[in-house]
Amino acid sequence: ASVSTLSKLAARGAAVLLPGSASLDKLEGGDKEYRLDFAVKSVPGSYADVEANFAFDKDSEKKATYNLVAAVSRDVAPAADGDKKATSKEAGDKPEMRAFVLGDADVFTDPVMDFANTNRLLLLEALRWLGG
């Protein structure tokens, strides 16, 4: 849900630019209460340029599909003092903590967003999802 429009546009070749982004992985033995969705992945055959030479080095680098953006959520208990702000007004909605995690914030800088309209869409969809 955090990148639904981008997912629909992927079939038409739409892509976001993530210059210098680190990859993300689920922490082994992490808290099971958190729901984790890797919302954006690299294209197959991508590699982490460990040598920083802009070329694939088969001895020190591996090609794979990397997780680049994660949508994380977890249910939270309503406030003990009955604070109405902590609960949703819609029936059936539970209060939820949400986080949108990126390997690098350069994805939302002016030069990148001026060049790639899809990055603007990524920001808008992330904010929409974070707001519920």
pLDDT tens digits, one per residue of 15-26: 888 888 889 998
Is 0.75 topped by the overall pTM?
A: yes
Confidence of residue 7 (pLDDT cuts 50, 70, 90): confident
105: how many CB neighbours lie within 10 A of its CB?
9
Distance CA 12, CA 17 (A): 16
What is the structure's pLDDT at 85? 55
What number of other Cβ atoms are within 10 A of residue 67's Cβ? Answer: 19
CA distances from 77 to 51, 54, 95, 98, 129 (A): 47, 48, 7, 14, 20
User: Residue 55 gets which letter from DSSP?
Assistant: S
- Mean pLDDT: which of 13-17, 27-31, 90-94 is highest? 13-17
